[in-house]
Structure 1
Amino acid sequence: MLKGIHHVAIICSNYEVSKYFYHEVLGLKIIAESYRQERDSYKLDLALPDGSQIELFSFNDRPKRPSYPEAHGLRHLAFCVENIDVIAERLLQQNISVEPIRVDELTKKRYTFFSDPDDLPLELYEQ
């Protein structure tokens, strides 16, 4: 039935800051960028190496996402990585706070969390 995740949609509060973060900091490839005059909204399609995508939207006057304490709904977005130490260090070098690396007690895989410019919780999960 389901084959995988095609895309995740994110609404950001500052389009240029989030575009820089996802494209330059995280290294996602820009597929397409458009401005929709009738909505006064940008849409940026970004690709991950596995073919999945992130749709980054800018809409004015949207409420902030409740994160802490965690609310019902989407908890976080996790990215798989080959070497968590390298990616975590790269983020730290760009002044992005990264939680200490932990080991999942069930899978024995290493993981950590950081946040995007809007405090959306993001996870690095080592394969």
Structure 2
Amino acid sequence: MKLKRIHHIAVICSDYQKSKDFYVRVLGLTPAREVYREERESYKLDLEIDGHYQIELFSFPDPPPRPSYPEAAGLRHLAFEVDDIAEAVEVLQNQDVTVETIRVDPLTNKKFTFFSDPDGLPIELYEK
């Protein structure tokens, strides 16, 4: 087996319209396809970043909350690469998103920070 790249990441949200607004308007991802699956009472929205990687945003009736603190086993966070982290943080803060202080990774000397989506999913910005 030879893996080539990550194809997509699936995110389940508790409030579809709120999360759709966050990922599209606030983060600037591009909707590629949206469907409502009546048999599951679920929306599925495929989101693109610069025409590449996809995030699949799902809604399901009454999903259980995701434990964040203490951190649970499993996928820890979603990370996006940016050219200018200070500029990206300013854009988020101008849209009332709470962002942690920018830090420097001691191993790579690259700047990074975290914020959360509407359901508390940790999202990282990492300056290339």
Give TM-score, length-normalised by structure 2. Answer: 0.97
- Structure 2 match to 1:16: 17
- Structure 2 match to 1:26: 27
Q: 1: distance between equivalents of 2:99 and 2:3?
A: 32
Deviations 1:80-103 (A, max 9, x none): 000001110010011100000000
- Structure 1 match to 2:97: 96
SS in 1 for 2:100: coil
Tell me how far 1:3 sits from its aligned partner: 1.1
- Matched letter for residue 67 of structure 2: P
Deviations 1:68-124 (A, max 9, x none): 111111110000000001110010011100000000000000000000000000000
In structure 1, the gaps of 5 or more residues are none
Q: Percent identity?
A: 62
- Structure 2 match to 1:60: 61
Tell me how far 1:50 sits from its aligned partner: 5.8
Aligned length: 127
> Hey, which bits of structure 1, 4+ residues long, moved more than 2 A?
none
SS in 2 for 1:9: strand
- Matched letter for residue 74 of structure 1: L
1:1-127 aligned within 5 A? 1-49=2-50, 51-127=52-128
SS in 1 for 2:62: coil
Q: 1: distance between equivalents of 2:73 and 2:118?
A: 21
